[in-house]
Structure 1
């Protein structure tokens, strides 16, 4: 698979990034052995770039996979909500320890909303910059679901990598259109920042039009890599073919034909409302003291991470 550099960084990544939330108990609920096998399988197929986050709770999957991968050939991006030095230090130490590595390639502040949230997290940013000087991380950046977050990144040279939502219809963008997002992302690229997009299939909503959706993101010249959630060898093969050839082979397409992701809330939901408060997309509501997803849900699975009863899953 083609490899590209993320902006001015020296980090070279595959055009397809392995989105790893989907393998966790919050979604496919694969065993550590099964998840590690998929990471290794994807690496053998040319995918050397994996996206995770502290909130995904899947560092142990990556640790297991790295036993079969040359660490120097593999790029790991993770994310944290840290906003103080102490929180940032704890997040970095946790990642290093649980993944079993001496460094993290890309450390991102998770879900930054604007220049104001970036300013509010600057104590953590300063810690990560010092960690970079010590060789504990290679590059620093942010992830964002907002155009305002992308605009905020333009003001900081310290932010080298940006991970925004990019898909044909702008599904999941909280404050504008895909055209507005692309305009600002293009300006990021002109500043030399590395850009890898998320949710090219709109959290699963564009699966039935996957070839059209991938054609859209592939033709964006300033989008260096595309993170896609992968939870089976068939999905890995399908997405590699989409990146390299623009289509899914018929045999794989038939295997995936009935795969229609959805968010499930078990009957034993206690109606605590934590998922509703967590969802910035307003994609889940309480009806008769039971959480119910609605048309705004982008199947990110973040609501599941707050459920005290563990009754929410994306399947």
Structure 2
């Protein structure tokens, strides 16, 4: 969990290291110079050839409880408001229980305008059947991106080989566009950064160190600002290997209740050149407006 006392002691050192060792490197400096100007821009996702809006709408805050608490009408209004602002990347998962909610929310809108990413948890016996169910629930013939969800072990590729092979087959049949992984430990992230199979990495990232990957082999280990630089190092390897990188937990899983903390985290993500896109779980149009405004302001200094 986010600890203000820890992060404030270490934040200056972490961000200074980013400024000197990351933002000025040829890799990320070039990415920063090439940055678009708004949260709504369609940006390239690594080597995949696919594009998505720079800012995505997370549909799984606190396992989807936050979004489902809006009720169907409220959720529909939220998704359509985001769409009207140009936010076409929707992020969900089997465990969030929002597949059918998204299906209803985008009904009547052009499917091809959306980038839908979902996640398959665990190691199901018949992954292709699970994927077919996902498509039915989402009401779509294809899913843009499917990730194996919440990996924590240093050999998750062996543990989830059945899922990986199934997603590769589905990609070949154009049932899905790309595949990848969401990691929840540093050992899992280190493996992910080096695997050619990974098209897309969904990475927990914020400069305050809230809810980041740590050496502990558990999804909910306590983290702080000391864990920021190890995560950044793995992202650099991902970028060098052509992986798409999407930042999550940008506002500390909702822990950043102060606007200043949210601005700091968003500026870091936008100006470091570490990510192609980011995803934030929203529960109101006001939160969308704030994030869009903050991202646009952060990008403006790069042009």
2:129 corresponding residue in structure 1: 90
2:25 corresponding residue in structure 1: none
How does the TM-score come out when normalised to structure 2?
0.77
Say which is worse superposed, 224-233 or 237-246, in terms of deviation: 237-246
CA contact (8 A) 2:244 2:276 kept: yes
1:45 corresponding residue in structure 2: 85
Residue deviations 1:189-215, cap 9 Å, x none? 110000001111111222312111211
Aligned counterpart for 1:158 among listed residues 197, 202, 224: 197
Residue deviations 1:243-268, cap 9 Å, x none? 11249xxxxxxxxxxxxxxxxxxxxx
Q: Distance in 1 between matches of 2:263 and 2:142?
A: 36
Q: CA 1:23–1:62 in structure 2 vs 1: closer, same or farther (change >3 Å)?
A: farther
- Give 1:223 deviation, angstroms: 0.5
- Give 1:118 deviation, angstroms: 2.1
Is 2:185 the counterpart of 1:146? Answer: yes
Q: Following superposition, which runs of at least 4 residues in structure 1 exceed 3 angstroms of deviation?
A: 22-25
2:76 corresponding residue in structure 1: 36
C-alpha root-mean-square deviation of aligned residues, in Å? 1.8
Residue deviations 1:7-47, cap 9 Å, x none? 00111111111011249862251112221221111011011
Instruction: Name the SS of the counterpart of 1:111 in structure 2.
Output: strand
Aligned counterpart for 1:175 among listed residues 186, 190, 214: 214
Is 2:262 the counterpart of 1:210? Answer: yes
Is 2:167 the counterpart of 1:117? Answer: no
Residue deviations 1:98-153, cap 9 Å, x none? 11000010000001124412221011110111011111100000001222222111
Q: Distance in 1 between matches of 2:92 and 2:272?
A: 24
Say which is worse superposed, 77-86 or 42-51, in terms of deviation: 77-86
1:237 corresponding residue in structure 2: 289
Instruction: Name the SS of the counterpart of 2:247 in structure 1.
Output: strand
2:114 corresponding residue in structure 1: 74
CA contact (8 A) 1:114 1:150 kept: no
Is 2:45 the counterpart of 1:6? Answer: yes
Is 2:246 the counterpart of 1:196? Answer: yes
Residue deviations 1:21-80, cap 9 Å, x none? 249862251112221221111011011101100001011111012213211110000011
1:133 corresponding residue in structure 2: 172
- Structure 1: tracts of 5 or more residues without a match: 248-315
Q: Distance in 1 between matches of 2:114 and 2:234?
A: 29
Count how many residue pairs are aligned between Structure 1 and Structure 2.
246
Higher RCO, 1 vs 2 (CA within 8 Å, ≥6 residues apart): 2
Q: Distance in 2 between matches of 1:84 and 1:197?
A: 26
Instruction: Name the SS of the counterpart of 1:89 in structure 2.
Output: helix
Q: Distance in 1 between matches of 2:98 and 2:236?
A: 32
Say which is worse superposed, 22-31 or 190-199, in terms of deviation: 22-31
Q: Distance in 1 between matches of 2:124 and 2:79?
A: 32
Q: Distance in 1 between matches of 2:298 and 2:198?
A: 32
1:57 corresponding residue in structure 2: 97
**More helix by percentage:** 2
Q: CA 1:132–1:46 in structure 2 vs 1: closer, same or farther (change >3 Å)?
A: same
CA contact (8 A) 2:100 2:138 kept: yes
